[in-house]
Structure formats: structure tokens, C-alpha cells
Amino acid sequence: MKKFRLLKVDEVTKGFNGKTVLERISCEFFNNEVHVILGKSGTGKSVLLKMIIGLIKPDLGKISIDDQDLFENAKENDLILSYIFQSSALLNSLTVIDNVTIFLDEHNVGSKQERVTKAYGILSDLGIQDAANKMPSELSGGMRKRVAIARSLIISPDILLYDEPTAELDPINTKIISQIIDKLRDTNTITQVVVTHDIAFAYSIADKISILEDGKIILTGDKDAIKNSKNALLEPI
């Protein structure tokens, strides 16, 4: 079942303290695709995702789902978005399993037993069920990232936003994250938006790639089209 066709960022402008970060940026994310936004550090990738998830309000412009304002109609479209922070942002005072069940706990979804069972299922899909009773501080960066993904997956999101998911990870963990994204794509139920500055990682997961530069999307297209575009930003250093 298709819950939506198109998530659209339309001419959105955002600045801080008089300095414009994103200027009339537009981009489109279609259902079930893995769309990677490539850009250097400080170009506003996190700001863009935080506006889509609603943590930051745009100064101008609109974010819409199938031409309906994403926030005004939040109740009606009952679309679930989830954001995976670059820092993972796990609650450090809770165990892994409590971090994963927190949404269900706080919104009283199902019985405690059902929540825990569901969480264990997701943790074992991601290969980290052994960490269930550990505290976040005991985990490596790669495991923390997977716990953050589990915490997002438990709410069955329609749209999953990843903020530089491999930024502090070694090649093996980067590979694990790409495999998770691939597997989720195969479920055909989830739209994944990934921002990163890692070109190789982008090529390994993307259906579509957009390049963010100086507050604007300067190029967007299917992975192969972008690969062949010979854009200077994509040249190996």
C-alpha cells in the first residue's frame, strides 16, 4: 500500500543570525527510494533534515506530502517520519532495550511484553540482540548507530531520515549500515533519505543522488547519471 507518492521540499530558505544557510532549496523524495544528499560539512545537510522532521522551522517555503503541508496536516496524513541523529542521540540513562521501546512505552502501545518482544525482534534483525541490556555508554559507535536505527524502526516509519550515518564509523560498520539500508529498501515500505559527505557510501546505497552546495541543490538524478556527470565535487581528492 502506498501511503504517499512524493515528499517535497519547496523553495525553502533557512538562516541563522542573519546568515543564510539554505536558500530557496527544492528537492523531491519519491516513495520507496533511497535518496542520498551529498554535500560538504557545514552546507546545511542537518538543517535540511531537521526541517523535514520538524525540529527546525523554515524561514520561508514549504515542505509537503502530495501537495499537503506536512505539518498542518500531520494528523490527517498519519505519516510517520523518523530521524536518526548523527550523534545517534540515545538516552544515556536508559538501557538499549528501554531506548528501543521508549516510543511504545510513552505512547502506551501494546503490553510491556509485546513491546519488549518487538524490540528484541528488531535488535536481532540488526544483529545486536546481545547488547539489549547494556547501557549506551558501553557500546561502540557502530552499535549505537544500530540501536538508533532500531529505535526508529520500532515505530514502523514511512520515511526514515539518516544524518551522516557513517560519519564516525570504520569501513566494516559502514558496510553494515549500507546492508541495513539495502535490506530496508527491499521491504518496499520505507522511503530513506540519507545525507552524507561520503561519496563511496553514497554510491553503494543510493537510487538517487542530489548534490548540495552553497545552500542549493545543484544537481540531482539517478545514481548512474550522477556518476557519469563528472561533477567536480565527485572527483576523488
Ligand X SMILES: Nc1ncnc2c1ncn2[C@@H]1O[C@H](COP(=O)(O)OP(=O)(O)O)[C@@H](O)[C@H]1O
User: Which residue intervals of 38-140 are DSSP H helices?
Assistant: 45-53, 74-77, 96-106, 112-125
- What is the rounded CA–CA span in Å between residue 100 and residue 42? 30
b/e sequence 114-150, b meaning 16+ C-beta within 10 Å: ebbebbbebbebbebbebbeebbeebeebbbbbbbbb
Whole-number minimum distance, CB 167 to ligand X, in Å? 9
Applying the rule CB under 6 A, the residues between 31 and 50 that interact with ligand X are: 39, 41-47
Rounded to the nearest 5 percent, the helix, strand and coil shares of the chain are 35, 25, 35
Does residue 16 touch ligand X according to CB under 6 A? yes
Closest separation in Å from C-beta 92 to Mg ion: 21
Q: Is the distance from CB of 99 to CB of 149 less than 8 angstroms? A: no
Could you list the residues that contact Mg ion (CB under 5 A)?
Answer: 46
Q: Which does 44 bind (CB under 5 to 8 A by kind): ligand X, Mg ion, another protein, none?
A: ligand X
Please state the φ and ψ torsions of residue 54, each to the nearest 5 degrees.
Answer: 95, 10
**Which residues of this chain interact with another protein, rule CB under 8 A?**
53-55, 82-83, 85, 87, 89-93, 102-103, 106-108, 155
Question: Quick one: what does residue 21 bind among ligand X, Mg ion, another protein, none, with the CB cut-off 5 to 8 Å set by partner type?
Answer: ligand X
Please, which residue, 46 or 210, has the CB nearer to Mg ion?
A: 46
Residue 93's binding partner out of Mg ion, another protein, ligand X, none, with CB under 5 to 8 Å set by partner kind: another protein
Residues 43-102 that bind ligand X (CB under 6 A): 43-47
Residues 75 and 3: their CA atoms lie apart, in Å, by 14
Q: Which residues bind ligand X (CB under 6 A)?
A: 16, 21, 39, 41-47
